[in-house]
Amino acid sequence: MSLPDPSPVLNLIDAFRHSKTMFAATALGIFDRLHEKPATAAELAEAVSADSGATERLLDACAALRLVRKEDNIFHNEPVASACLISASPQSMRGYILYSDRVLYPVWGNLADGIREGSPRWKQTFGLEGGIFDAFFRSDEAMHEFLRGMHGFGMLSSPRVVEAFDLSSYRMLVDLGGATGHLAIAACTRYPELRATVFDLPRVAEVARAHAAKSPVNERIGVVEGDFFRDPLPAADLYAVGRIFHDWDDQTVVTLARKIHATLPENGALLVADKLLNEDGVGPLPANMQSLNMLVVTEGKERSLSQFERLLREAGFARVQGKRTGAPLDAVLAVKITV
């Protein structure tokens, strides 16, 4: 009897090594240095105060991963590194990569305990009291780093999310927990008659103002400080929640959705940006991985369209549609209709 192909298992054994190679190179500033100018391993090692031989091994591994290329022993960033891994890029995911390295990687080390107990691993991993978002924003540097990383993901997803449905009939969008305002910017860019407000905590609102000011649609974007659980919501005929519902359990989602529904006018809508699971719960793989991520870091999970529909109808919405976008986040639109 012949053995099955062991590649799936072998690939998974190596998978964390691939991630940590990119994480380490990012944390050391390798890609930023190569953005300044191509360099040899010895030059880079000196620049980042690292061992020359070890740095060459790291760079060779990055070349094998197609993040850099090696020509006559001189290393250059590949285009994907220049777009996603350097600090200066508008599409940079560097902040989220550093967060993944310093926060998610150790938290995932306790995944088995999370499965046994069905609860987050934040306190077990770091010994910190309070919610995960308190820890995210424990300092201005940590907050800005996290938001920069989320902005990179938003630049990939938000244009696809706002074009998933025809939103041209709406005139005022409020993005709840809108962070850097990437969805508001994408929506106003797509729909010339739309105005938008980013509604987020005071410290985050400062970041949103800075990003909105740089946008070509800045005159149509405002920023309001507040907590969407505690404070009245700014008036709108379209609300958006991006990567918000997956942080919370079902009852909390229904509570927030009811608040949104009560504030909306007739025919107003709620746009949800999250990963959609298949109806049987198996796949797409990024949604399964994110759902496990939510297990170890929050009270939430990823959901299928039918699960979203059940929660949103319980909150009062009469029509719920979903679409896959081909981007890291999918789109769900719930409309308030009196029936």
Taking CA atoms, 123 is separated from 103, 119, 127, 129, 296, in Å, by 12, 10, 4, 6, 10
Find all residues with CB under 8 Å of 77, minimum gap 6, and list them.
Answer: 31, 34, 35, 67, 68, 85, 86
Task: Spot the catalytic one: 35, 182, 211, 246.
Answer: 246
Taking CA atoms, 63 is separated from 30, 31, 71, 72, 74, in Å, by 12, 12, 10, 13, 11
Active site residue 211: no
How many alpha carbons lie under 13 Å from residue 197 in its C-beta half-sphere?
Answer: 19
Q: Which residue has the tokens 């106003």?
A: 188
Q: Are the C-beta atoms of residues 296 and 108 closer than 8 Å to each other?
A: yes
Helices and strands (H, E) in the chain, number of each type: 16, 11
Query: What kind and span of H or E run contains 222?
Result: strand 221-225
Q: Are strands 74-77 and 68-71 parallel, antiparallel or unpaired?
A: antiparallel
Q: Are the C-beta atoms of residues 181 and 212 closer than 8 Å to each other?
A: yes
Find all residues with CB under 8 Å of 108, minimum gap 6, and list them.
Answer: 293, 296
Q: Are the C-beta atoms of residues 276 and 305 closer than 8 Å to each other?
A: yes
Active site residues: 246
